[in-house]
Structure formats: structure tokens, C-alpha cells
Amino acid sequence: MNDERQQVGLELARETIAGSDGPHVLITAGVHGDEHEPMAAVRALIAILRGRNLRGRVTLVPVVNETAYRLGQRTGDDGRDLARTCPGRADGTSTERAADALSALIRTADYYIDLHTGGTRLRVFPLVGYGLVADAAVLNQQRRMARAFGLPVIWGTDPNLEGRSLSVARDARVPAIYAEYHGGGTWDSTGVEAYIHGCLNVLADLEMLERRRSLPISPPLIVEDPRPGAGHMQVNHPAPVEGFFTPSVDLGSKVQAGQPLGVISDLLGKSAQPVPAQHGGMVLVIHARCYIAAGECAGVVLET
């Protein structure tokens, strides 16, 4: 078990629920301030886990980047994306300080789950992801956590992406997964439910709590893609121009290479530029807002 770090520059609002001796699991939401279902799921998990007979302890953080949450946006009041700022710094800007506090917490954990959605800009097919880290024992534990979580897609990707919560976990050899579930600026109670069950499933798989096996789900689609940049959604299918984006495909649908993911129109409809799929596969992410900036992610196609 890792040692507790003594000094944490910024205190994240959190709850630790402790039982008998056992592992320490960290569950976080609100690394991005516009991803609301994970925050509600963590709050619900605090209520569910209070009073349960736990082996080990669970630390739950409903909102990591509080200034981003207050602004209802991905980035903090300093304009920084916390998932590009880790490990942060204790004497830095608001997001740097939150990243530093989060990184310190991750280093105290034995297992880590980070809950996300596509935020206001993207919608994401429900998935659990992890980095294809070099440490085989850590990687196998991540695969096992991802299977236990119980979402339809499991996506192992480039472990060398920096600045993220999972980069800190990788460096500390803490088995870690993240989850994505829809988004697009709406409220989706199915995402809250899926995250509550997913986290409880992982805790049960770690033999930290008694839990009747949830109903069998269909086997997940598992894709492991170690290529550099795999898993970096924001650089996929960059919009060739700015404009009004109308998607042509649904999340989860199959596309062929060259098939348009959507069309970008100018305001008066004089031009309509398709964004073709660069390869065939399953639509994992699609841009959610009307306005798309040039270079912004129009979608992600999972090569299956």
C-alpha cells in the first residue's frame, strides 16, 4: 500500500468511507466542470457506501476542479484543462492546485476510477478506458477492473499521454480506469445509474463489499490500440473549417471509410463540407454542439 502524503496544498472536498483493513480505492468526478452525471453518481455512492460493511476504504471526490464546475465548463477559471495539467503544482493557478491535490490523492490509492462524460462539446458511447501500461500486473488489474465495471466498450490506449489523472496513476503504478458516458450538455439519469453500478461492481470484484452479481450483460467490445495518440479524442477527425455541424451518424453506429460523420455548413447554407470517416469502425464520439471550430474534434471512430 502506498504512503499517505502529508502535505496537500489545496483540500479537495471529499469523503472517505473506511471499513476493516483492505485496499484504498479512489473514485473521482468533475475533473471537467461540464460533466455532471459523474458528480451525481459520486454523491449517490457516498450515501450508498455510508453504513455498509466495507473491507478497506473508499475516497470519493465529487468535483475535482471546482472553478470549472462553477463556470459549467471543461476548464477552470484560469482557462486550464485539468486533464492536461497533472501533476500540477501546489503554488500554481486554481487548476494547477486542484491537479496537485488530485495527484497527491492518487498516489495514496491502491486503485483509481475517474468518471467522465463528453461534457457540453462531445457525446461519447459508454466506455471504460485505460492506458496500455508497461507494468503487466498493473495492466492486468486495469483490464479486470474495466471488465467488472460493465459498460459495452472497453478501450485500452496509448499509455504515454501526459497531463491526465491516469498519467499520475501510471507513474505511481496505481491500477486505474476511466469511464465515459454520453454528454452533450443534457442530463442523463441512465449515466448516473450506470456509474453507480459500475463502481459498486469494481468494489465487489475487489472483494471490498458484498454484492449480488448484477444481471449478466452482453460481452463488451474490447479494443486495445497502443498507437501513439490513441485515446486522445480531441485530435480525432479535426473539423476542416468552422461552422454549423450537423451529425450524419449516431453513436454506436458502424461506418465505412469515407462515409461522412457530419456536415459543416456556413450560416447561410452556401457551403456544406462533409467530414469523412478516416477509417471504418464504430462511432465512439460525435461532436454535440451546433458550432464547431476549425480543428475541433468532429468525432472518433473506433477501429474494430
Q: Which is nearer to Zn ion, 87 or 129 (CB)?
A: 129
Cα 40 to Cα 43: distance, rounded to the nearest angstrom: 5
Work out how close the CB of 88 gets to Zn ion at its nearest, in angstroms, rounded to a whole number: 16
Q: Which is nearer to Zn ion, 22 or 38 (CB)?
A: 38
* 263 DSSP β-pair partners: 246, 274
Work out how close the CB of 165 gets to Zn ion at its nearest, in angstroms, rounded to a whole number: 10
- Using DSSP bridges, classify how beta strands 260-265 and 221-225 pair: parallel, antiparallel or unpaired: unpaired
- DSSP string covering 205-219, please? HTTSS--PPPPP-PP
Q: Which is nearer to Zn ion, 49 or 285 (CB)?
A: 285
Q: Which residues contact 80 (CB under 8 A, 6 or more apart)?
A: 93, 95, 96
Cα 162 to its chain centre, rounded Å, is 15
At 156, which amino acid appears? G
User: What letter would DSSP give residue 90?
Assistant: T
Q: Which is nearer to Zn ion, 87 or 260 (CB)?
A: 87
Residues that bind Zn ion (CB under 5 A): 32, 35, 116
Work out how close the CB of 64 gets to Zn ion at its nearest, in angstroms, rounded to a whole number: 10
- Residue 294, SS3 per DSSP: coil
Q: Which is nearer to Zn ion, 69 or 245 (CB)?
A: 69
Work out how close the CB of 22 gets to Zn ion at its nearest, in angstroms, rounded to a whole number: 29
Work out how close the CB of 178 gets to Zn ion at its nearest, in angstroms, rounded to a whole number: 8
At 195, which amino acid appears? Y
The residue at minimum Cβ distance from Zn ion is 116
